[in-house]
Chains A and B, each alone.
Chain A
Amino acid sequence: MVLLGNFDQALYHVKISNTGLPLDNKDLHLANSSTTIANCNFYLESQLYYYQIKNVSLVDPFIFLNAGINCLALIKLKELIMDANKFGIKLDEVKAGSATRAAEILESANVSDETVAKFADVFGEVLRENRLFNADLHPTIAIGDDSNNWHPHTVFISFKVKTDAVTAANLYKTSVKRSIKRYGAMPDALHLSIEAA
Chain B
Amino acid sequence: MPVTPQDLLDSAKRFDASKTNCEADYRACVSRVYYAAYHSAQEFHKNLSQPGISIAGCGMHKSFVNQLQYPGITKTDPDYNKSIEAGHYLKKMLFNRTTCDYDNTYTIAINSVTLAFADAELVFDAVK
Bound-state Cα–Cα, A148 to B100, Å: 11
Distance in Å from the Cβ of B126 to the closest Cβ of chain A? Answer: 8
Binding-face segment, B9-17, B25-33, B55-63 = B55-63
Interface of B is mostly: helix
Distance in Å from the Cβ of A90 to the closest Cβ of chain B? Answer: 25
Distance in Å from the Cβ of A152 to the closest Cβ of chain B? Answer: 7
Give the contact-size bracket for chain B.
Answer: 20 to 34
Q: Tell me whether A111 is interfacial, beta carbon within 8 Å.
A: no
The interface bits of chain B over 91-128 (1 if a CB of A lies within 8 angstroms of the residue's CB, else 0) are 11001001100110000000100110111011001000
Bound-state Cα–Cα, A156 to B103, Å: 17
Binding-face segment, B34-42, B43-51, B80-88 = B80-88
Given contacts A185-B69, A193-B92, contact A151 B118 (CB under 8 A): no
Chain A neighbourhood of B81, CB < 8 A: 177, 180-181
Chain A neighbourhood of B91, CB < 8 A: 154, 191
Q: Tell me whether A188 is interfacial, beta carbon within 8 Å.
A: yes
What count of chain A residues pass the 8 Å CB interface test? 27
Chain B neighbourhood of A156, CB < 8 A: 92, 95
Among A150, A154, A172, the residue within 8 A (CB) of B122 is A172
Among A144, A173, A177, A195, the residue within 8 A (CB) of B95 is A144
User: B84–A148 contact, CB under 8 A?
Assistant: no
Bound-state Cα–Cα, A144 to B92, Å: 10
Given contacts A165-B115, A173-B122, A195-B115, contact A148 B98 (CB under 8 A): yes
Q: How many Cβ-Cβ contacts under 8 Å join chain A to chain B?
A: 65
User: A150–B69 contact, CB under 8 A?
Assistant: no
Query: For residues 163 through 197 of chain A, which have their beta carbon under 8 Å from a beta carbon of chain B?
Result: 165-166, 168-169, 172-173, 176-177, 180-181, 184-186, 188, 191, 193, 195-196
User: B95–A142 contact, CB under 8 A?
Assistant: yes
Further contacts, 14 of them, CB under 8 A, given A148-B102, A176-B88: A150-B62, A151-B58, A151-B62, A152-B55, A168-B118, A169-B119, A173-B125, A177-B85, A180-B85, A180-B88, A185-B84, A185-B87, A195-B115, A196-B115
> Which chain B residues have a beta carbon within 8 Å of chain A's beta carbons?
55, 57-59, 62, 66, 69-70, 81, 84-85, 87-89, 91-92, 95, 98-99, 102-103, 111, 114-115, 117-119, 121-122, 125
30 contacts between A and B (CB under 8 A): A142-B95, A149-B98, A150-B62, A151-B57, A151-B58, A151-B59, A152-B55, A152-B58, A154-B91, A154-B95, A156-B92, A156-B95, A165-B114, A165-B117, A169-B121, A169-B122, A173-B125, A176-B85, A176-B89, A177-B85, A180-B81, A180-B85, A181-B81, A185-B70, A186-B88, A188-B66, A188-B69, A191-B91, A193-B92, A196-B114
> Which chain A residues have a beta carbon within 8 Å of chain B's beta carbons?
142, 144, 148-152, 154, 156, 165-166, 168-169, 172-173, 176-177, 180-181, 184-186, 188, 191, 193, 195-196
